[in-house]
Chains A and B, each alone.
Chain A
Amino acid sequence: MGKYILKRIGYMLAVLVVLSFILFLIYNLVPNNRAYTDAKAEMTTMKTRLRNASEAEKEKMFEDLYVEYQRKYGTDTKNMVVKYLRWIGFMPNYYGEYSGLIQGDFGYSYELKDDVINVVKQPMKNTVFINIFATILALGITIPLGIVCAVKKGSKGDQVMQVVTIIGYSLPSFVTAILFVWIFCSLLGIFPPSGMKTPGSNYTGWKWFTDRMYYMALPLITMTFCSLGSMTRYVRASMIDALSLDCIRTARAKGVTEKAVIYSHAWRNALIPIVTLVVGWFLGIFGGSLMFENIFGINGMGKLMIQSLRTQDFDVVVLLQLFYVAISLIGNLIIDIVYGLVDPRVRVSA
Chain B
Amino acid sequence: MKKKNFFSRMCGWVRRAFFGGSRELANSVDVEEVVTPIQQIIRNFMERKLAVGALCVVIGMFLLVFIGPLFMPKYYDSYTEVTQKNVAPTLSMMKVPSELKNDIKMIDSYGSFSVGLSNAGKVYVWGATQLGTTGINIGEIPESVQNDKIAYVAAGIDHIIAISETGKVYGWGSNKHGQYVTTDKEVLEMLEEAEESVSDEDAALLEEAGVSAAEESSEEGAEVEEAAAEEVAAEVEETKEIDKAVSVGENIIPMPTELVTGTIDVANVKKLVCGYQCTAILMNDGKLYIWGNTNAYQNINSFVDKDGLIDIDFTLNYIVGLTEQGTSVYTGKRGLYDQYRANINSSAKASKKFLNGRKITSIYATNNHLCGLLDDGSLFFAGNFPQDSVPMPQLHEGETIEQLAAGTYHYTALTSEGRVLSWGGSTLNQTDVPADVNGKTAKIFAGAFQSYAVDSNNALVGKWGLKGYLFGTDGYGADIFQRIIQGGKMTMTIGAVAVIISTIIGIIVGCLSGYFGGAVDIILMRVAEIFAAIPFLPFALILSAIMAQMDISENEKIFILMAILGILTWTGLARMVRGQVLVARENEYVTAAKAMGVREGRIAFRHILPNIVSIIFVTLTLDFATCMLTESSLSYLGFGVTYPRPTWGNMLNGANNSTIIKNYWWQWVFTSLFLAVTCICINIVGDTLRDVMDPKSDRDK
Listed in ascending order, the chain A residues whose CB lies under 8 Å from chain B are 15, 18-19, 26, 29-31, 154, 163, 166-167, 169-175, 178-179, 181-182, 185-186, 193-194, 240, 244, 283, 286-288, 290-291, 294-295, 302, 305-306, 309-310, 312, 317, 320-321, 324-325, 327-329, 332
Contact = CB atoms under 8 A, between A and B. Distances in A.
Contacts of B684: 166
Contacts of A329: 533
B672 interface: yes
B683 A309 contact: no
- Interface SS, A side: helix
Nearest to A30: B546
B672 A19 contact: no
B680 A174 contact: no
B672 A179 contact: yes
Given A19-B530, A166-B683, A328-B533, A172 B658 contact: no
A328 B529 CA distance: 11
Nearest to B54: A166
A154 B680 CA distance: 21
B661 to A, nearest CB: 5
Nearest to B648: A172
A171 B679 contact: yes
A19 B539 CA distance: 11
A12 B379 CA distance: 80
7 contacts: A19-B534, A26-B546, A171-B680, A175-B652, A302-B538, A317-B542, A328-B533
B538 A287 contact: yes
Given A178-B655, A309-B542, A172 B676 contact: yes
Contacts of A288: 537
Interface stretch (B60-68, B366-374, B631-639): B631-639
B440 to A, nearest CB: 49
B687 interface: yes
Nearest to B658: A193
Contact of B652 (A174, A193, A287): A174
Given A172-B633, A309-B542, A324-B538, 6 more contacts: A182-B658, A286-B535, A287-B535, A317-B545, A324-B539, A325-B534
A286 to B, nearest CB: 7
B676 A170 contact: yes
Q: Which of B638, B672, B684 has the most CB of A within 10 A?
A: B672
Contact of A173 (B633, B658, B682): B633
State which size class the interface on B falls in. Answer: 35 or more
A64 B494 CA distance: 48
Given A170-B683, A172-B675, A181-B658, A291 B633 contact: yes
A212 to B, nearest CB: 20
Contacts of A185: 658, 661-662
The 6 closest A-B pairs by CB, nearest first: A193-B658, A186-B662, A324-B535, A170-B680, A309-B545, A170-B679
B675 A175 contact: yes
A169 B661 CA distance: 22
B533 A15 contact: yes
A182 B665 contact: yes
B535 A306 contact: no
Nearest to A16: B533
Given A19-B534, A175-B675, A329-B533, A181 B661 contact: yes
A18 B531 CA distance: 11
Interface in B47-76: 50
B661 A178 contact: yes
Contacts of A320: 538
A285 to B, nearest CB: 11
Given A166-B684, A175-B675, A321 B637 contact: no
A321 B541 CA distance: 10
A144 B5 CA distance: 52
A26 B103 CA distance: 71
Contacts of B546: 26, 29-30
Contacts of B687: 166
B559 interface: no
Interface string B681-699: 0111001000000000000
Interface in B403-429: none
Nearest to B544: A309
A175 B672 contact: yes
A291 B637 CA distance: 8
A26 B530 contact: no
A186 B683 CA distance: 30
Given A171-B680, A175-B676, A178-B655, A163 B50 contact: yes
Contacts of B700: 240, 244
B347 interface: no
A306 B637 contact: yes
Contacts of A26: 542-543, 546
B529 A174 contact: no
A174 B636 contact: yes
B535 A325 contact: yes
B537 A291 contact: yes
Given A291-B633, A325-B533, A167 B538 contact: no
B537 A186 contact: no
Nearest to B549: A30
A304 to B, nearest CB: 11
Q: Which of A31, A170, A244, A283 has the most CB of B within 10 A?
A: A170
B629 interface: yes
Q: Which of A15, A174, A310, A317 has the most CB of B within 10 A?
A: A174
B683 A290 contact: no
Interface string B337-368: 00000000000000000000000000000000
Contacts of A306: 541, 637-638
A147 B655 CA distance: 37
Contacts of B661: 178, 181-182, 185-186
Interface string B641-652: 000000000001
Nearest to A240: B700
B570 interface: no
Contacts of A182: 658, 661-662, 665
Nearest to A317: B542
A30 B629 CA distance: 27
B617 interface: no
Contacts of B675: 172, 175
A348 B700 CA distance: 32
B668 interface: yes
Contacts of A179: 672
Nearest to B536: A287
A302 B535 CA distance: 12
Interface in B511-552: 526, 529-530, 533-539, 541-543, 545-546, 549
B457 interface: no
B625 interface: yes
Contacts of A309: 541-542, 545, 639
Contact of B679 (A172, A305, A332): A172
